[in-house]
Amino acid sequence: MDSHRPSPDDFRSSLSDLAARSDPSGPAAAQAVPGASRRRYGRWLVLLNVALTLVAAGTVLALLSGALPAADVPLPTRAVSDTVVSWGLLAAALSTGLCALGAAYAVSHVGAAALGAMGERPELAGRALIFVGLAEGIAIYGLIISIMILARLG
């Protein structure tokens, strides 16, 4: 009895043979190099990043030099006391800081568990990433609360 167990290399070679037979464009050697589209996509992302950075820098320089008119809006007078402002700033700082610490604690435990699970079953990587992202969301909620407090202070 022949107990031949297929290896992953056998599977890859059979897939490439099947792709070469089913592709009407020609032999496998004439096809595009794997990863070439990723490199092209990466180049476009770099060019887009550079272009957006240049546009943003040009806008900031134009505003600072006075070439673009700024809105002349009178500043509102503050109707809250300095004590209220100091407590509001403290509340904003505490909400951001404590939420960041809580998120760091959650990410450390969830990340360690996710890496352990991916070590045993690599197909769980996507699900584990979702749970790490949910833990990081705690810090974002704290930041949103801080922005709301600061906006309320005026």
- HEC string for the chain: CCCCCCCHHHHHHHHHHHHHHHCCCCCHHHCCCCCHHHHHHHHHHHHHHHHHHHHHHHHHHHHHHCCCCCCCCCCCCCCCCHHHHHHHHHHHHHHHHHHHHHHHHHHHHHHHHHHHHHHHCHHHHHHHHHHHHHHHHHHHHHHHHHHHHHHHHC
* pLDDT (mean) for 109-131: 89
Residue 24 inside a domain? The answer is no
Domain of residue 153 covers 79-154
Instruction: State whether 52 and 88 are in the same domain.
Output: no
Domain boundary residue among 18, 42, 69? 69
Instruction: State whether 54 and 98 are in the same domain.
Output: no
Question: Which residue has better confidence, 127 or 77?
Answer: 127
Domain boundary residue among 48, 69, 90? 69
Residue 36, pLDDT score: 60
Give me the number of domains the chain comprises: 2
Instruction: State whether 83 and 154 are in the same domain.
Output: yes
Residue 154, pLDDT score: 75
* pLDDT (mean) for 10-33: 53
Instruction: State whether 101 and 151 are in the same domain.
Output: yes
Residue 62, pLDDT score: 77
Round to whole Å and give the CA distance between 116 and 125: 10
Mean pLDDT of the chain: 78
43-47, 73-77, 105-109, 144-148: least confidently modelled range:
73-77
The pLDDT of residue 24 is above 60: no
21-30, 44-53, 57-66, 130-139: least confidently modelled range:
21-30
Instruction: State whether 51 and 118 are in the same domain.
Output: no
Residue 11, pLDDT score: 54
